[in-house]
Amino acid sequence: MTLQFSYTYLDAKDDVTDAPLIRRPEHRGSAQVVWQASEAWTLGVGRRGRLVDAMAVPPHRPRCLTNTVIRFFSHYDFGHGFRAHVRLENAFDEEYAEVQGYPALPSK
């Protein structure tokens, strides 16, 4: 079993106005657990989350929303260079938008 974690802090600013750049998440993180069930079969679950702007109309400072997406994945190695992959992204069908006005696709 393998545990993987990542975190990013981004301080992106406009070079001229020194204002925070819109649509750039200040905090972003992910975690996943991968289990090697057998030599050929791998299973995993992962989570990614980010803080995103919800309103980007100057001169207002962007309001932030948090979204978290869970995914399940697996692959099986049949040998001879043939591997099958399966991934269910947004497993719990959470409604979210990476950018306001552009909603993510449902998992259906």
Domain, as residue range, for 47: 2-103
CA distances from 5 to 15, 34, 46, 56 (A): 31, 12, 10, 30
Is residue 28 a part of any domain in this protein? yes
Domain count across the chain: 1
pTM of the model: 0.68
pLDDT tens-digit map of 30-75: 999 999 999 999 999 999 886 655 455 455 555 555 678 899 999 9
Is residue 108 a part of any domain in this protein? no
C-beta separation of 91 from 83 below 8 A: no
